[in-house]
Structure 1
Amino acid sequence: MVNVDTTNVQPKLKISGLGKRYGEVVALEPTDLTVDAGEFVTLLGPSGSGKTTLLQMISGLTEPTTGTLHVDGRDETATPVHRRDMGLVFQHYALFPHMTVGENIAFPLKMRGTPASEVRERVRETLAKVQLEQYGDRFPRELSGGQQQRVALARCFVYRPQVVLMDEPLGALDKNLREHMQFEIKRLHREFGTTVIYVTHDQEEALVLSDRICLMNHARVEQIGTPREIYSRPKSIFSARFIGLSNLFVGKVSDAGDGRIVVANSNGSFEARQENCGPLVNGKAGLVLRPEQLRPGPAGAGENDITGTVTEIIYVGSDTRLVLTLQDGETLSVRHDPAATLPALGDSLTYHWPIDVAVVVS
């Protein structure tokens, strides 16, 4: 294996203090973000979090109030959208209804003056990559929603833009088709090696597609990390609640010594590693546990345990989830072991977990 020194490698995109205000309304706080060449970065967050505003400033569709954007080391902050060499894919496919599939895909090449022979070859090659070789002569109205979205992707990728920007491109599709298209996008990204910035509010979509996730909330960045880091090591209560299903025990924090801390509330006292604890506010914090991290067993079987009453049994096909009501009325979600006997409503169950798996956030 060859070790390559990447300390001086220029990022594809460098966003420094980029922000947007509309009068007194803050659409995006000054934001910093770097994206490497070939990376797939997802801007994830609820409505109003600033993710689409950030994407539009990267594309040039929206002028920033503050900050700069550099592409390959060049300042592109004031470069007009048609000169940025960035492909755009939107939720609504925006295909030309009077053009065939092949003509739609060829359009950006013709606009750039590409020779006719190269246009034909590029269109043929791209149709094959999106598995629409037999559809080049059809019109958009003759295609399904998923096929139209493939054409929109092909039209974007065909001219090899240095960056592809996608704003909720799968939002109009049903669940099964969304999941299929996620793998299509992942495959296209891998085959073309293009840098992708992707906007979605769908956490599962972000986890499936991304090299890194930029989680946003209230017009600012909440956390940046790999899908595994965002899921396993959330940095805030918002991160823990937004990504995946979480159990959150909020309470007072104290130092237990030996690199351990204790979060205590009316349900008990629970230990975690000091290294898994983020910045604390007023001595209070939340201990985060994922449902799959808890194991059934008698009290004292693990380093931490809690007892509750089964009040819901939720079957979701590939999994079964139990909801336990705790002493203070709060609920606890746990993943039921498919090899174990299913409990009945009203049963009292105890679950335990090791000290290493809990994360403490504020």
Structure 2
Amino acid sequence: MTTRQNDSSPPKLEVEGLCKRYGATTALEPSSLSVAEGEFLTLLGPSGSGKTTLLQLICGLVEATQGRVVIDGRDQSDMPVHQRDIGLVFQHYALFPHLTVAENIAFPLKMRGRPAAVVESQVKGALDMVHLGHLGARFPRELSGGQQQRVALARCFVYQPSIILMDEPLGALDKKLREQMQIEIKRLHRESGATIIYVTHDQEEALALSDRICLMNHARIEQLGTPREIYERPRTAFAADFIGISNILRGKAEADGTLATQHGRFALPQGVRCANGEGALVIRPEHLRLGLCDGNHISGRVAEIVYAGSETRVIAAFGEDGQFILRLGPDEAVPGLGDEIVAGWASDRAVLVG
């Protein structure tokens, strides 16, 4: 599958037909994509989807079976890792325990033979960038997890690599700290203008951070687009189900503009048709409303109610094994457990996928 960003400027990175096989096992199907200068692209998908393999192929940690990696117009497919001018940030910080924070950040500059005065200045700037200027003399063991991850980020940003690759860098942090670090990474990206390729399996993280998301499944690219495009216009049932919460009704698209399912007929979005007849309607929980409306509706019995602060999720069962989920705002009346309810949605708020 080939996906490219519409941009008149030359891409920072081009992946052309990149593929990796281990004997009879395919870790990555032939895949192509372009990444623009200064873009934040997230590789998102479940375990085994090929996202980490693609990242390792880009930086040279793994040798490709076929395909090319082109950075700034130069084919770097055969270059070793240390010659690709790529920075790496890992999940487990990989800080040197015997070096201070400042020495850890200075390490890549010294390895590149930068003058001492330049090293001192750039380390100070990197420490200030991650708001750790007062901790330069400490050792990693004296820092919290979030502070250690900031040091790892600073060590990568300090020498201004052509591309920065991040492999689940927040995976070891708790939820609140992850959310705080997401804000820090967005700020660092904005202020530095760096080109970042970021691997995660966390959909909320991908939505929060990315300029574009490359959604992967079964060792191939499933869909590539902005967070809004993938959330609001998923192209497949997998994309709809993996990104956010979805209500999915499967059936056969009929000539009269409806989807015939075992639970009834539902109007399709106006002008939408399914090429092979088989399809699925995707309705996000926030587009469902309690009661009848001018459009589609479905009935069920409330099986679960989940209070989540700013919203309440109502999960209703219908048929033998079906369910639908509504998101109710803080001012909306919440039905009781076991109540029979009807939920409706306007046909143009649904998406038909193949």
Q: TM-score range by the shorter chain?
A: over 0.9
The amino acid that maps onto 2:236 is S
Mapping for residues 52-67 of structure 1, pairs under 5 Å: 52-67=52-67
CA distance in 2, matches of 1:196, 1:8: 19
Shift of residue 337 of structure 1? Answer: 3.4
Q: Which string of whole-angstrom CA distances, capped at 9 and with x for unpartnered residues, describes residues 166-190 of structure 1?
A: 0000111111111110111110000
Q: Which string of whole-angstrom CA distances, capped at 9 and with x for unpartnered residues, describes residues 232-277 of structure 1?
A: 1111111011110000001111122xxxx31111222111226555
Indicate the residue corresponding to 1:308 in structure 2. 300
Indicate the residue corresponding to 2:318 in structure 1. 326
The amino acid that maps onto 2:265 is S
Indicate the residue corresponding to 2:38 in structure 1. 38
Q: Are the equivalent residues in 2 in contact too, given 1:280–1:361 (CA < 8 A)?
A: no
Shift of residue 327 of structure 1? Answer: 3.4
Which stretches of structure 1, 4 residues or longer, exceed 2 Å deviation after superposition?
A: 273-277
Mapping for residues 43-192 of structure 1, pairs under 5 Å: 43-192=43-192
Q: Which string of whole-angstrom CA distances, capped at 9 and with x for unpartnered residues, describes residues 286-311 of structure 1?
A: 1100000011223xx22111111111
Q: In terms of mean alpha carbon deviation, does 25-34 or 309-318 score higher?
A: 309-318
Indicate the residue corresponding to 1:229 in structure 2. 229
CA distance in 1, matches of 2:329, 2:82: 55
CA distance in 2, matches of 1:225, 1:213: 6
Q: In the superposition, relative to structure 1, how do residues 48 and 275 fare at CA in structure 2: closer, same or farther (>3 Å)?
A: farther
Q: Are the equivalent residues in 1 in contact too, given 2:300–2:342 (CA < 8 A)?
A: yes
Q: Are the equivalent residues in 2 in contact too, given 1:18–1:68 (CA < 8 A)?
A: yes
Q: In terms of mean alpha carbon deviation, does 302-311 or 92-101 score higher?
A: 302-311
Aligned residues between the structures: 349
CA distance in 2, matches of 1:40, 1:340: 37
Shift of residue 8 of structure 1? Answer: 4.5
Indicate the residue corresponding to 2:347 in structure 1. 355
Scaled by the length of structure 1, what TM-score is found? 0.94
Q: In the superposition, relative to structure 1, how do residues 275 and 244 fare at CA in structure 2: closer, same or farther (>3 Å)?
A: farther
Q: Once superposed, what is the RMSD of the aligned Cα atoms?
A: 1.3
CA distance in 2, matches of 1:280, 1:148: 52
| Percent of paired sites with the same residue | 60
Shift of residue 280 of structure 1? Answer: 4.6
Name stretches of at least 5 consecutive residues in structure 1 with no aligned partner. Answer: 1-5
CA distance in 1, matches of 2:330, 2:97: 50
Shift of residue 325 of structure 1? Answer: 1.2
Indicate the residue corresponding to 2:329 in structure 1. 337
CA distance in 1, matches of 2:340, 2:206: 36
Shift of residue 148 of structure 1? Answer: 0.3
The amino acid that maps onto 1:175 is K
Name stretches of at least 5 consecutive residues in structure 2 with no aligned partner. Answer: 1-5
CA distance in 2, matches of 1:61, 1:9: 28
Q: Are the equivalent residues in 1 in contact too, given 2:27–2:50 (CA < 8 A)?
A: yes
CA distance in 2, matches of 1:335, 1:7: 37
Structure 1 position 287 matched with structure 2 position 288: no
Scaled by the length of structure 2, what TM-score is found? 0.96
Q: 2:258 aligns with which of 259, 262, 268?
A: 262
Q: Are the equivalent residues in 2 in contact too, given 1:60–1:79 (CA < 8 A)?
A: yes
Q: Are the equivalent residues in 2 in contact too, given 1:267–1:328 (CA < 8 A)?
A: no
Q: In terms of mean alpha carbon deviation, does 302-311 or 212-221 score higher?
A: 302-311
Secondary structure of 1:273's match? Answer: coil
